[in-house]
Amino acid sequence: MRRVEVSAYQPKWKDLFEQEARRLCQLFGSVILDIHHIGSTSVLGLHAKPIIDIMPVVQDIEKVDAFHDDMIQLGYEPKGEFGISGRRYFPKGGEERTHHVHMFQTGSPHIERHLAFRDFLRTHPDVAKQYGWLKTDLAQRYPENMNGYIEGKNDFVQTTEKRALEWYQNSRTN
């Protein structure tokens, strides 16, 4: 059973992302067009589950499937779309997760959604602080119930994501 653990921001999260991004870029080569650090560990000062979320962007999502054995060699578990159409999802570390790779094909609306949420939290520290408090509280209330933790964040995430997308789209056109 996965425990819900939220900790204070760790500067090493950026280094862990960069190390793993290099490994993935070496493995996939030109299949990866871009790679982003997303999720709470990508936001300076934000409390987070200590799992590095990585979002590679590829030209053709179907090409990713040929790398399953290579990803297994790096410690990842291929999960396919895993509930999000057009995604390829790879968690690493089993019950003691260390990384999540969320691959999307260029043009996927999920790319903008993730980047908008991340950048909104980076530029709105008051919202990031609220999110950190919520996550810390939920982790204390649901230490052995990942679904309870995720459901507890859902309203905040949905509301903030809508604000973030509007903000992101406006900031790109101005």
Per-residue pLDDT tens over the stretch 92-146: 999 899 999 999 999 999 999 999 999 999 999 999 999 999 999 999 999 999 9
Whole-structure pTM value: 0.96
- Specify the pLDDT at position 54: 98
Domain total of the chain: 1
Residue 3 domain flag? no
pLDDT band at 7 (very low <50, low <70, confident <90, very high): very high
Asked if residue 7 belongs to a domain, the reply is: no
Q: Is residue 94 part of a domain?
A: yes
pLDDT of residue 119: 98
Q: What is the CATH number of the domain that holds 90?
A: 3.30.460.10
Packed helices 109-123 and 125-141: angle between N→C axes, nearest 10 degrees: 100
What would the pLDDT profile of 44-93 be if each residue is shown by its tens digit? 999 999 999 999 999 999 999 999 999 999 999 999 999 999 999 999 99
The pLDDT value recorded for residue 172 is: 82
For residue 105, the surrounding DSSP H or E stretch is: strand 99-105
5: in domain: no
Full domain range(s) for residue 158: 12-173
For residue 100, the model assigns a pLDDT of 98
pLDDT at 1 over 80: no
Domain presence at residue 6? no
State how far the alpha carbon of 111 is from the alpha carbons of 84, 103, 104, 118, in Å.
12, 9, 7, 11
